[in-house]
C-alpha cells in the first residue's frame, strides 16, 4: 500500500484504503485443479491488487506476514493467502494463471495474469503498468503467437480496476466537487480498454463492480469497525451504475453478450453481513470489519518493521476467522466468503 502521512489520512480515511498499492510476486504454487489439457479454458487477468498474484515484485507482499496461510510464505499476493484470481481459476478447473512477471519461467497454458497492485484504469500513485499498458502486453503476446486466435476466443477475461484511480483523485486533486466529471472520464477510458480487449479476440470479458469502499477497515474505523460508511459506499454504487450501463451499451453495439459484470459490491456486503450476524451471536468469532493485520501507528503498513527490526503491526490470533487481512484487502477467508456469494452466478457469467 502507498505510505501516507498524517495530513493525508486526515483528508479522508476512506481513500487511504484505496491505495491498494503494494503488491506481490508470483506464488510458486498454484491453486486449483491440475490440468495438462492444452485445450482447457485460459484465464487472462487485468487490474490491481485484488487480482494480482505476483507482478508487483518490489512490494510488501514479499515480506512476512503475507502468504502465511497460502502458500506459507510471502509469494506475491496482498493478503495471507488465496485471492479472487485463485478462486476463479479453481472454479474453471485450471491452475492459477502465471503472473506476467514470471512468464519466462512458467507454464503459460492456463493463461496470464497482467494485474499489478496499486495500478488502475488511468495513472495512479503507483508507478506500474495501468490497464492500457497491461493490454499492450497482452497484445504483444498475441503478436508473438504465444496464444492463438482460438486460445483468446475461448478464454475468460477478468478486469478488476478503478479503486486506485479514486485514491489518486482524492489525494492529488482534492476537489470532490469534480468527482462526477472524473468518474465519467474514468468510465469512458474503461470502455475504450475493454472494447480493445474484445477487438483482440476475446469473447467473454468479465468486469468487476467496485467493492463497497465504505466497508474497508481504513474507512469503517471511524465507526470503531461497527458499520460500513454508506456515504462512501455511494461512490462505489455510482461507479457501478456506469459500469452496468457501458456493458449494456457495448453488448448492444456488438450484438451479443460479450461483456458481463462480477458483482463484488453486493457479494462483499452480503458476506460481511452474514459474518457479522454470527459474530454478534458468538463473540469468539472476529468482527468482519476489523483488520487482522493492524497498523501500530500512522505511516506503517502491514508487514513493516522499523530500523531496529521491530514490527510496526499486530496480528489477530486467528487469521482464518478474519474477513479483512489489512486496511484494504480481504483475507483468504474473506475472499472465500465473497466467492461463495459469487458462485451461483458464475455459470451464467463464464459459460462454465
Reply yes or no on whether 239 is catalytic: no
Q: What is the mean pLDDT of the chain?
A: 88
**11 grid coordinates:** 483528508
Q: Which domains does the chain have, with CATH numbers?
A: 6-269 (3.40.50)
Contacts of 136 (CB under 8 A, 6+ apart): 129
Strand order through the sheet with 111-113: 98-99, 111-113, 43-47, 156-160, 205-208, 259-262
| DSSP-assigned states of every residue in 84-104 | HHHHHHHHTTSPPPEEGGGGG
The band of 297, judged by pLDDT with boundaries at 50, 70 and 90, is low
The band of 351, judged by pLDDT with boundaries at 50, 70 and 90, is confident
pLDDT at 298: 59
Reply yes or no on whether 49 is catalytic: yes
The band of 299, judged by pLDDT with boundaries at 50, 70 and 90, is low
pLDDT, one tens digit per residue, over 125-167 is 999 999 999 999 999 999 999 999 999 999 999 999 999 999 8
Of 49, 106, 322, 331, the catalytic one is 49
For residues 296-310, give the mean pLDDT.
78
pLDDT, one tens digit per residue, over 185-194 is 999 999 999 9
pLDDT at 294: 87
The answer on pLDDT for 41 being more than 60 is yes
The band of 223, judged by pLDDT with boundaries at 50, 70 and 90, is very high
Nearest Cα to 28, choosing from 48, 53, 65, 56? 53
At 46, is the secondary structure helix, strand, or coil?
strand
Q: Cell numbers 477510458 correspond to what residue?
A: 189
Comparing 20-34, 44-58, 299-313, 335-349, which segment has the lowest mean pLDDT?
Answer: 20-34
Phi-psi region of 67 (alpha: psi -120 to 50; beta: other; left: phi over 0): left
Return the percentage of the chain with pLDDT > 70, whole number: 87
Phi-psi region of 29 (alpha: psi -120 to 50; beta: other; left: phi over 0): beta
* Helices 179-199 and 131-143, axial angle in degrees (round to 10): 10
For residues 6-14, give the mean pLDDT.
35
pLDDT at 231: 87
pLDDT, one tens digit per residue, over 76-127 is 999 999 999 999 999 999 999 999 999 987 789 999 999 999 999 999 999 9
Q: For residues 2 and 125, is the Cβ–Cβ distance under 8 A?
A: yes
Of 52, 106, 326, 331, the catalytic one is 326
For residues 38-53, give the mean pLDDT.
91
pLDDT at 171: 83
Of 48, 329, 331, 337, the catalytic one is 329
Nearest Cα to 77, choosing from 108, 116, 43, 40? 116
Reply yes or no on whether 198 is catalytic: no
Amino acid at each position: 500500500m502507498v505510505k501516507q502521512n498524517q495530513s493525508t489520512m486526515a483528508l479522508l480515511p476512506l481513500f487511504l484504503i484505496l491505495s491498494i498499492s503494494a503488491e506481490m510476486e508470483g506464488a510458486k504454487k498454484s491453486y486449483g485443479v491440475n490440468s495438462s489439457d492444452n485445450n482447457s479454458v485460459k484465464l487472462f487477468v487485468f487490474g490491481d491488487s485484488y487480482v494480482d498474484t505476483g507482478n508487483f515484485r518490489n512490494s510488501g507482499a514479499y515480506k512476512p506476514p503475507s502468504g502465511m496461510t497460502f502458500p506459507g510464505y510471502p509469494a506475491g499476493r496482498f493478503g495471507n493467502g488465496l485471492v479472487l484470481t485463485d478462486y476463479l481459476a479453481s472454479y474453471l478447473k485450471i491452475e492459477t494463471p502465471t503472473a506476467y512477471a514470471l512468464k519466462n519461467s512458467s507454464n503459460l497454458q492456463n493463461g496470464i495474469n497482467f494485474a499489478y497492485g496499486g495500478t488502475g484504469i488511468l495513472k495512479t500513485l503507483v508507478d506500474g503498468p495501468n490497464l492500457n499498458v497491461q493490454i499492450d502486453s497482452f497484445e504483444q503476446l498475441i503478436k508473438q503467437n504465444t496464444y492463438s486466435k482460438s486460445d483468446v476466443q475461448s478464454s475468460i477475461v477478468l478486469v478488476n480496476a478503478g479503486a486506485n484511480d479514486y485514491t489518486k483523485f482524492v489525494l492529488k486533486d482534492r476537489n470532490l466537487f469534480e468527482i462526477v466529471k472524473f468518474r465519467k472520464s474514468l468510465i469512458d477510458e474503461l470502455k475504450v480498454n475493454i472494447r480493445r480487449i474484445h477487438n483482440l479476440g476475446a469473447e467473454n470479458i468479465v468486469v468487476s463492480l467496485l467493492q463497497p469502499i465504505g466497508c474497508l477497515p481504513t474507512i469503517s474505523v471511524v465507526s470503531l469497525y461497527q458499520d460500513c460508511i454508506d456515504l462512501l459506499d455511494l461512490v462505489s454504487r455510482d461507479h457501478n451504475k456506469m459500469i452496468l450501463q457501458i456493458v449494456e451499451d457495448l453488448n448492444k453495439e456488438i450484438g451479443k453478450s460479450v461483456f458481463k459484470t462480477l458483482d463484488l459490491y453486493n457479494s462483499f456486503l452480503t458476506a460481511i453481513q452474514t459474518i457479522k450476524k454470527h459474530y454478534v451471536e458468538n463473540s469468539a468469532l472476529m468482527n468482519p470489519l476489523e483488520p487482522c493485520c493492524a497498523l501500530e501507528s500512522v505511516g506503517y503498513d502491514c508487514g513493516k518493521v522499523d530500523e531496529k527490526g521491530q514490527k510496526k503491526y499486530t496480528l489477530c490470533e486467528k487469521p482464518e476467522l478474519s474477513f479483512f487481512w489489512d486496511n484494504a484487502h480481504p483475507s483468504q477467508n474473506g475472499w472465500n466468503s465473497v466467492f461463495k456469494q459469487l458462485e451461483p452466478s458464475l455459470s451464467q457469467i463464464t459459460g462454465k
